[in-house]
Amino acid sequence: MIYRKRGAVVRWENGTIVRVVESGLAVEEGERFECRPEGAAPGQLDPDSVLSAVEAIRERVRPLLIERLIVTHGRSEHECEDRVWTEETERFHLSIVRGTNRAIVDSTTARMDDLAPIARALAQAGEERDPPRHLRLAPCVTAALLPSLVNAPPADARLVQTAGGLDGYGHPVGESTGAPWPNWYRPSYRSRPVRMPLNLRLESHQTELDPDLPLALALLGPVHGSSARVLIAGAGSVYPATIQVSRVAAVGGLGVWYPYGGGSFGAEMMF
Amino acid sequence: MRGRLVESRLDHGQALEDDGAILASDARDDALVTACERELARLRPALPSAARVRLVAEASSEGISSAMTVRVGGLSIVTTLEHVADDVRLLTSCTTGVTPVPRRPLPLLWRNGSAAVLLHEAQGHALEHGHAPLSLPEWLRVDIPLRMRRATFRDVPLLRMTHVRAEQRHAPFALPDECIEVHLVEGGTYEPLTETVTIRIAAATLRGEALAPFVMVAPRQALRFLGAQGEPLRYPGVICSREGQELIVESHAPLLLTELA
DSSP-derived letter for residue B103 is S
pLDDT at B73 > cutoff 90? no
Considering only CB atoms, B156 lies closest to which of A16, A31, A101, namely A16
Write the CB contacts of A156 (distance below 8 Å, at least 6 apart in sequence): A204, A205, A206, A247, A248, A249
The rounded distance, in Å, linking the Cα atoms of B141 and B151 is 28
Q: Does B24 touch chain A (CB under 8 A)?
A: yes
pLDDT of residue A178: 87
Distance of CA A172 to the CA centre of its chain: 20
Query: What's the gap in Å between the CA of B123 and the closest CA on chain A?
Result: 19
Residues of chain B found within 8 Å of residue A35, distances taken between Cβ atoms: 8-10
**Burial of residue B239 (number of CB atoms within 10 Å: 0-12, 13-18, 19+):** middle
Determine the residue among A4, A22, A54 to mutate to test chain B binding: the one whose Cβ has the most chain B Cβ atoms within 10 Å.
Answer: A22
Res. A153 pLDDT band, cuts 50 70 90: confident
> Torsions phi, psi of A50, nearest 5?
-70, -45
Does pLDDT of B3 surpass 90?
Answer: no
Give the amino acid at A268.
E
Residues of chain A contacting residue B23, judged by C-beta atoms under 8 Å apart:
19, 44
Q: Give the C-alpha separation, A92 to A112, whole Å.
A: 10
For residue B154, what is the nearest residue in chain A, using CA coordinates? Answer: A20
What pLDDT is attached to residue A152?
Answer: 84
Q: Tell me: pLDDT of B167 over 80.
A: yes
Cα–Cα distance between B190 and A195 in angstroms, integer? 32
Determine whether the interchain pair A18/B24 forms a contact, defined as Cβ–Cβ distance below 8 Å: yes
Residues of B in contact with A229 (CB under 8 A): none
DSSP state of B211: B
Percent of chain A with pLDDT strictly greater than 70: 100
Residue of A nearest to B24 (CA): A20
pLDDT tens digit string along A18-64? 999 999 999 999 999 999 999 877 888 999 999 999 999 999 999 99
pLDDT at B51: 87
Q: Residue A116: is its pLDDT beyond 80?
A: yes
In three-state form (DSSP H/G/I as H, E/B as E, the rest C), the secondary structure along chain A is: CEEEEEEEEEEEECCEEEEEEEEEEEEEECCEEEEEECCCCCCCCCCHHHHHHHHHHHHHHCCCEEEEEEEEEEEEEEEECCEEEEEEEEEEEEEEEECCEEEEEEEECCCCCCHHHHHHHHHHCCCCCCCCCCCEECHHHHHHHHHHHCCCCCECCEEEECCCCECCCCCECCCECCCCCCCEECCCCCCCCEECCCCEEEECCCCCCCCCCCEEEEECCCCECCEEEEEEEECCEEEEEEEECCECCEECCCCEEECCCCCEEECCEEC
User: What is the average pLDDT across B92-97?
Assistant: 90
Cis peptide before B137 (omega within 30 of 0): no
Question: pLDDT by residue (tens digit) across A92-104?
Answer: 999 999 999 999 9
Asked if pLDDT for residue B95 goes beyond 90, the answer is no
Q: How far is A157 from chain B (nearest CA, A)?
A: 33
**pLDDT tens readout for residues A122-140:** 999 999 999 999 999 999 9
| Mean of pLDDT values over A238-242 | 97
Model confidence band, residue B20 (pLDDT cutoffs 50, 70, 90): confident
Q: Which chain A residues touch B22 with a CB distance below 8 Å?
A: 16-19
pLDDT for the residue numbered B163: 96
Calculate the CA dihedral of residues B123, B124, B130, B135 and round it to 10 degrees: 20
pLDDT at A151: 85
Residue numbers in B near A97 (CB within 8 A):
193
Tell me the nearest-neighbour CA distance from B53 into chain A, angstroms: 15
Contact A37 B9 (CB under 8 A): no
Instruction: Output the average pLDDT for chain B.
Output: 94
φ/ψ of residue B59, rounded to 5: -130, 130
Residues 225-244, chain B, touching A (beta carbon < 8 A): 243
Question: Are residues B24 and A19, on separate chains, in Cβ contact within 8 Å?
Answer: yes
Amino acid B99: pLDDT: 94
Segment B219-241 shows an average pLDDT of 94
Share of chain A above pLDDT 90, in %: 89
More confident call, B217 vs A246? B217
Alpha carbon distance A259, A104 (integer Å)? 13
Distance from CA of A234 to the nearest CA of B (A): 25
Whether A270 and A209 have beta carbons less than 8 Å apart is answered as yes
Q: How far is A197 from chain B (nearest CA, A)?
A: 24
Q: pLDDT grade, residue B237 (50/70/90)?
A: confident
pLDDT at B14 over 90: yes
| Residue A41 confidence (pLDDT) | 73
Among A27-31, A83-87, B165-169, B235-239, the least confident range: B235-239
Does the beta carbon of B154 lie under 8 angstroms from any beta carbon of chain A? yes
Is residue A172 reached through a cis peptide bond, with omega within 30 degrees of 0 on the bond before it? no
Cβ–Cβ below 8 Å for B13 and A37? yes
pLDDT, one tens digit per residue, over A53-80 is 999 999 999 999 999 999 999 999 999 9
Q: Is pLDDT of B1 > 90?
A: no
Q: Is B93 on the interface with A (CB under 8 A)?
A: no
B7 and A34 within 8 Å at the Cβ level: the answer is yes
Tell me which chain B residue has its CA closest to the CA of residue A96: B193
Confidence at residue A212, expressed as pLDDT on a 0 to 100 scale:
94
Partner residues linked to B215 by β-bridges? B200
DSSP β-bridge partners for residue A93: A70, A106
Q: Is the pLDDT of residue B252 over 80?
A: yes
pLDDT computed for residue B47 by the predictor: 87
pLDDT at A156: 86
What letter does residue B133 receive in the DSSP assignment? P
Band of pLDDT at residue A246, cut at 50, 70 and 90: confident
- Residue B63 CB neighbours (<10 A): 8
Interface residue of B156, B194, B245 to substitute, partner A, most A CBs within 10 Å: B156
ipTM: 0.89
Q: What is the C-alpha separation between B235 and B173, in angstroms, rounded? A: 20
Q: Is the pLDDT of residue B31 over 80?
A: yes
Residue B112: per-residue pLDDT: 96
